[in-house]
Amino acid sequence: MIAGGILAPATSLPGAGTLAIGGAVALVVIAALVVLMRRRSDAFPLLAILALPFRLPISADGKTVNLLIPLYLVVVAGTLAHLLPRLLSSRAPAPAPVHPPDTGAGAGERPPTPRQLAFWTSTRGLRWLLLATVLLYGLQAIYSSDLARAGENIAFFYVPFGLLFVLLGEVGWTRELLLRCLAITVALAVIFAGVGFVEYARKSLFLNPRVVAANEYDNYFRVNSLFFDPNIYGRFLALVMIAVTTVVLWISRRREILIGGAILLWLLGGLVTSFSQSSIAALLLGLAVLAAWRWDVRATIYTAVGLLALAGAVVLLAPASLHFGLKGSNGSTSNATSGRTKLISGGLDLFAKRPLEGYGSGSFEVQYKRHSRVSEASAQNATSASHTIPVTIAAEQGIVGLALYMALLVCAFLVLFRGAGRSPPRIAIAACFAALVLHTWTYADFLEDPFTWALLAIGVALARAGESGEARSRVPSYGVAGAGHDSR
């Protein structure tokens, strides 16, 4: 299995026999997972978190798409385990109602206050905005110049991740379950960082010839561990480090603090060897959120501004030998940002030419090549996005899509941060989401990243539990009828 990344070098298309065998194996795995999830209420969230980073390369039409096959299997099994009891119970006579009449709140919840009904601060509003975003993306695929890519994003990302969001949102997230999920991600991160250290020592990568070729021309060696992309690898490490830092700030026992510190040092080394500037920026933002929560907001802002000014001065005054890309024979802002400034300017030009509706979902690569008139060599390496999600959305979906995206972000941040100061798990989720959003502004993949949906789902579940006063010890079972509950 392979973690992270989107595209990989093409390989031969699997034969019919291979596909049949793979399908049979998938059915067996799904059946086994359904049985496990019906017996253990915590099986789905633990397996989902375990499967989040892993992708398998599937080849077709001369390219290979790295799909989250393990996660798809877990989501399908979770859906069956969740819906099957309801289907079976629907055949039996309906029992006498035990819940109060539906008032728009979840079963067992107290009647909502006017403040809770405010759309922009409600979990209901966030769910509707996510649904509207997916529906708009599908509608704007109708006039896209790259319908195949738009269809791939909907089929392989938005639909399965939407199911993941629903299923994780119905889990009863206790402190123990959250810590077990964190332990899984920490173990994966430690292993991935270890693989990255081996790559750095050998100066040889296990995966992705594109990064191998880039390393031949760069003055530094970038590792990507078992990910196809150093930046996605760095994003994963940054998110795990933010979560671990929350635990370190939360606990008081010296032994656990030392263990947490050692893990952070190990993961920091892995992040540095990835040379992912966007991941380091995301980590710093997440840590700033935690610092504001743990100590003082104003002091954190002053410190952050001072550090940004210092970093800017270092980059501007540093010699070319430090490889910041601004100086030397090839020094430029484009070189310093790995070509992002050209992609951003190209995306803004596309937006200016069709500002209202854009060029259609998934069309950035085709339109960028067409309007920029890049050389054949550049066209072969053109990216499918601007490496700045708002610019990509503006070019593909116009003002309509951009407005919906901004509304989604505003609602998500309000839901995640409102009242989170009283809950370390909630502030950890909020800090991770803020870091992920910043990473998407400097790289790519927002709703195409399962971590976005997982963070939102867990954050929504915790926020809803806080709003309704539900007991934190409740863990609904996927194996019995009525395991789910209506939610706002």
The answer as to whether 359 is a domain residue is yes
Dihedral sign for Cα 329, 331, 337, 343, please.
negative
Q: The tokens of 318 are what? A: 């540093």
Q: In terms of residue numbers, what domain contains 159?
A: 2-84+120-313+340-468
Q: What is the mean pLDDT of the chain?
A: 79
Residue with token string 């954050």: 459
Q: What whole-number distance in Å separates Cα of residue 227 and Cα of residue 234?
A: 9
For residue 70, report the phi and psi dihedrals to the nearest 5 degrees: -60, -40
The answer as to whether 13 is a domain residue is yes
Summary count for the chain: helices (H), strands (E) = 19, 4
Which of left, alpha, beta for 9 (phi over 0: left; psi -120 to 50: alpha)?
beta
Give the range with max mean pLDDT: 17-26, 303-312, 335-344, 445-454: 445-454
Each residue's pLDDT tens digit, 107-136:
334 444 455 447 666 888 899 999 999 999
Each residue's pLDDT tens digit, 132-178:
999 999 999 999 988 988 998 999 999 999 999 999 998 999 999 99
The answer as to whether 66 is a domain residue is yes
Alpha helices in 170-253 (DSSP H): 175-202, 209-217, 230-250
The answer as to whether 134 is a domain residue is yes
Q: What whole-number distance in Å separates Cα of residue 118 and Cα of residue 105?
A: 13
| Average pLDDT, integer, range 287-299 | 87
Q: Please check whether residue 189 is in contact with residue 53, taking contact to mean a CB–CB distance below 8 angstroms.
A: no
Residues across the chain:
488
The answer as to whether 318 is a domain residue is no
Share of the chain above pLDDT 70, in %: 70
How far CA 17 is from CA of 20, 23, 24, in Å, comes to: 5, 10, 11
How many structural domains comprise the chain? 1
State the pTM of this model.
0.82
The single-letter DSSP state of residue 143 is T
The answer as to whether 231 is a domain residue is yes
The edge-to-edge listing of strands for the beta sheet with 54-60 is 2-3, 54-60, 63-67, 7-8
Q: What whole-number distance in Å separates Cα of residue 252 and Cα of residue 259?
A: 12
pLDDT of residue 339: 52
Which residues, listed in sequence order, are joined to residue 57 by a DSSP beta bridge? 66
| Average pLDDT, integer, range 432-449 | 92
The answer as to whether 386 is a domain residue is yes
The answer as to whether 104 is a domain residue is no
Choose the weakest-confidence range: 289-293, 346-350, 401-405: 346-350
